[in-house]
Amino acid sequence: MRFKRTIFLMGALFVSLAGSAQISSDSVFIRKIFDEALTNSHSYKNLEYLSNSIGGRLSGSPEAEKAVQWSKKLMESYGFDKVYLQEVMVPHWVRGAKEKANIQSGKTKIEVPICALGGSVSTGTKPLTASIIEVKTLDELKNLGRSKVQGKIVFFNRPMDPRQVLTFIAYSGAGDQRRQGAVEAAKLGAVGVVVRSLNLFQDDFPHTGSLRYDEAVTKIPAAAISTNGADKLSKMLKTDPNLKFSYEMHCETLPDVKSYNVIGELRGSEKPTEIIAVGGHLDSWDLADGSHDDGTGCMQSIEVLRLFKSLNYQPKRTIRAVMFMNEENGTRGGRKYAELAKNNKENHLAAIESDAGGFTPRGFGMEADPAKIKAIQKWKPLLASYGLHDIGPGHSGTDIEPLREVDKNAALIGFLPDSQRYFLYHHAANDTFDKVNKRELELGEASMAALVYLLDKYGLDGSK
């Protein structure tokens, strides 16, 4: 493409903001936030270190411990007013040797890519080989009954719904297979489960993610299979319903390990006891370096505070960057944070979580009372120039949700980036640093900083 002339949308939007003096001074400062992020941000090089020098960091792993110590030092190096750890015991699940699987039909044996779901038991010392039965839903499984399931592997093969524009809805609609499939299958005597990867695209990456066992039900080994592998298996089952599926997994759950949330603060000058938290989760799945899930959210959160320092902005309220530990397989860090907030009688004005990837910003989803949501929506004219249009009720974040139980006034806010690419990488071996676009990452942190600035300046109850 070429551009001959310079009539542009954004120009028109800026002009439309020139209405009031208050809006004008805020728009100038928000513009400074974006300028600083787009020219001097540290987040991309910080993420490069986290992703490429530390790598995947599942709770309890040596890498998770490294990430804790490194992010603490990083925030200290920025001279934040206070940097500290919150001790929390976390689960310690390890994958062991790489998983293997194949489909056996007559004399044909075809390998397919699988990985253990997080928290799964192993297949034991030998591969698990059995007949396999395909279902699309948990209800379909229940209707089959014990006679058709006993002794078999259950293959859950309901794809994410591609018609959902917001891909998180498609994810939410297909997640029960992964989370509850093993328990429901075991109740009917199944010996294992294989679940279609929660991926909107056709490829060869299996996508892990946590499952839930029930202590009263036999724990059976649960694997994710790539979308291509799932299609192949389904196709082969149509011509040979008696084919065998064979897989081996060497994962195990070790005793809990001591770990930490990592917190940095800029102390408020006028209302230091009122807190605005912004965070991501420091742990990641082990298959990749966890760049989008959730290295980006962590590095953006640190950068929000660094941007304020760099712009000499002295917040009225205390601004806190929180790296939560163990979002992926326990939410222990999020629950510990809420527990300590309660014990310390902390007062959160708002908590913002970035855990939907480092993609171009689209807006913020909010769990808060309607008056607070409305107060935030009044800032739309200031945020729309930066592509932030989707500001309304929505999912906030797994790590900050426990806060609701202990601080009913806190507005819980989820940063909402564009969702189209997220499930290409989510929980898979391709969630790596090269998938992160520097500018998209920076626009995200600037969007978060702009909202934190407005929250800090105006609060949410009409008073300042």
Among 85, 130, 169, 188, binds its own copies (CB under 8 A): 169
Q: Rule CB under 8 A: is residue 320 a binding residue for its own copies?
A: no
How many other C-beta atoms are found inside a 10 Å radius of the C-beta of residue 213? 18
Q: In what order do the strands lie in the sheet with 100-105?
A: 108-111, 100-105, 244-248, 128-135, 153-156, 192-196, 222-225, 114-116
Q: Using the rule CB under 8 A, is 438 a contact of its own copies?
A: yes
Nearest distance in Å: CB 442, its own copies: 9
Kindly write out the interface string for residues 250-289 of this chain, putting x where it contacts its own copies by CB under 8 A and - elsewhere.
Answer: ----------------------------------------
Q: Which one-letter amino acid corresponds to residue 345?
A: K
Q: By CB under 8 A, how many residues form the interface with its own copies?
A: 68
Q: Does 327 bind its own copies (CB under 8 A)?
A: yes
d(CA 25, CA 27): 5
Residues of span 191-210 touching its own copies by CB under 8 A: 200-201, 209-210
Per rule CB under 8 A, is residue 165 in the interface with its own copies?
Answer: yes
- Contact range with its own copies by CB under 8 A, out of 212-220, 243-251, 305-313, 418-426: 418-426
Q: Which of 34, 78 has the CB closer to its own copies?
A: 34
Output 311 or 384, the one with its CB closest to its own copies. 384
Task: Assess whether 327 carries a catalytic annotation.
Answer: yes
Q: What b/e string do you get for 105-139 counting C-beta neighbours within 10 Å, with b at 16 or more?
A: eeeeeeebbbbbbbbbbbbeeeebbbebbbbeebe
Which residue's CB is nearer to its own copies, number 70 or number 201?
A: 201
CA–CA gap between residue 221 and residue 100 (Å, rounded): 13
Among 142, 374, 389, 464, binds its own copies (CB under 8 A): 389
The one catalytic residue among 63, 134, 184, 327 = 327
- With binding defined as CB under 8 A, does residue 371 bind its own copies? no
Give yes or no for residue 63 binding its own copies (CB under 8 A).
no
**Residue 3 DSSP SS3:** coil
Q: How far is the CB of 271 from its own copies (least distance, A)?
A: 29
Listed as own residue / partner, the contacts of 133-137 with beta carbons closer than 8 Å and 24 or more positions apart are 134/233, 134/234, 134/237, 137/177
- Rule CB under 8 A: is residue 445 a binding residue for its own copies? no
Tell me which stretch binds its own copies (CB under 8 A): 51-59, 84-92, 142-150, 435-443: 435-443
CA nearest to 432, candidates 329, 295, 250, 321: 295
Q: What is the smallest separation between the CB atom of 241 and its own copies, expressed in angstroms? A: 27
Helices 438-458 and 296-310, packing angle to 10 deg: 60
**Sign of the C-alpha dihedral, residues 37, 40, 322, 179?**
positive
**Is residue 87 part of the contact set for its own copies (CB under 8 A)?**
no
Q: How far apart are CA 235 and CA 223, in angstroms?
A: 19
With respect to its own copies, which residue has the nearer C-beta, 21 or 165? 165
**Which among 213, 220, 206 has a CA at the least distance from the CA of 101?**
206
Euclidean distance between the first and final Cα of the chain, in Å? 47
Q: What is the pairing mode between strands 222-225 and 192-196? A: parallel
- Using only C-alpha atoms, what is the Rg of the chain? 24
DSSP H helices in 262-407: 296-310, 332-343, 370-377, 380-383, 403-406
Q: CB of residue 76 vs its own copies: minimum separation in angstroms?
A: 28
Residues marked active site are found at 327
Residues that bind its own copies (CB under 8 A): 1-13, 34-35, 38-39, 162-169, 171-172, 175, 200-201, 209-210, 293-294, 327-328, 355-357, 360, 362-363, 365, 367, 384-387, 389-390, 392-395, 397-398, 401, 416, 418, 420-421, 424, 426, 437-440, 443
